Amino acid sequence: MNSTDGDFAGLSHIEGQGDESRSRMVDVSSKPSTAREAVAEARVQFPAGLREQLLAGQGAKGPIQEVARVAGILAAKRTGDLIPMCHPLGLDFVEILFEQAADHPDQLLIQCTARCQGPTGVEMEAMTGASVAALTVYDMTKAASKGIQIVAVRLLSKKGGKSGVWSAS
């Protein structure tokens, strides 16, 4: 979309055109409640050799992964408070998992799965959970190196709703 043409067709959170456009929360009151699931990941890049050293034990601020796991779960549950047009959802399940990236030995993969029964998807909840877990890892390890980076956050898959199943390639 060209930012000057004012055409927001297909964007559900914007109505009107040009100077008359405005944001809105989508009305999901008439949508059926269905099972929803989304999986997102964040990647934290550490300088060479630092990931293993930092995550081998407890950091100065406590057990890094456990603190990040709790932060990610809490963030997923509060997504409706953080992202203005997100609907508050009663999540039935949130899980945060950590592993070394197979393709980058100095990257930590953080995966968040969110599930609920509801009228709208949980993609934002999964992405928020993964993002805040990554930010917490950064916060707890930044004293060791300012070169630590959050290099990616993305949706991996979603299930449910009228669009059905989607997976990243």
Domain with residue 66: its CATH number is: 3.30.70.640
Give CA angle at 115 (80, 109), nearest 5°.
90
Domain membership flag for residue 27: no
Query: Domains in the chain: how many in total?
Result: 1
Q: Could you tell me if residue 105 is inside a domain? A: yes
Q: Would residue 168 count as lying in a domain?
A: no
User: Which residues are registered as beta bridge partners of 109?
Assistant: 43, 99
Contact 69, 62 (CB under 8 A): no
What's the pLDDT band for 22 if we cut at 50, 70, 90? confident
Question: In this structure, is residue 14 part of a structural domain?
Answer: no
* 38 in a structural domain: yes
C-alpha span between 141 and 6 (Å, rounded) = 43
What is the pLDDT confidence band of residue 62, given thresholds at 50, 70 and 90?
confident
Confirm whether 54 is domain-assigned. yes
Q: Which residues are catalytic, by number?
A: 139
Q: What is the mean pLDDT of residues 129-158?
A: 96
Q: Which residue has the tokens 């959802």?
A: 89
Sign of torsion over alpha carbons 75, 76, 81, 85: positive
Residue 30 tokens read as 């008439």
Quick one: pLDDT at residue 58?
A: 62
Residue 98's domain comprises 33-158
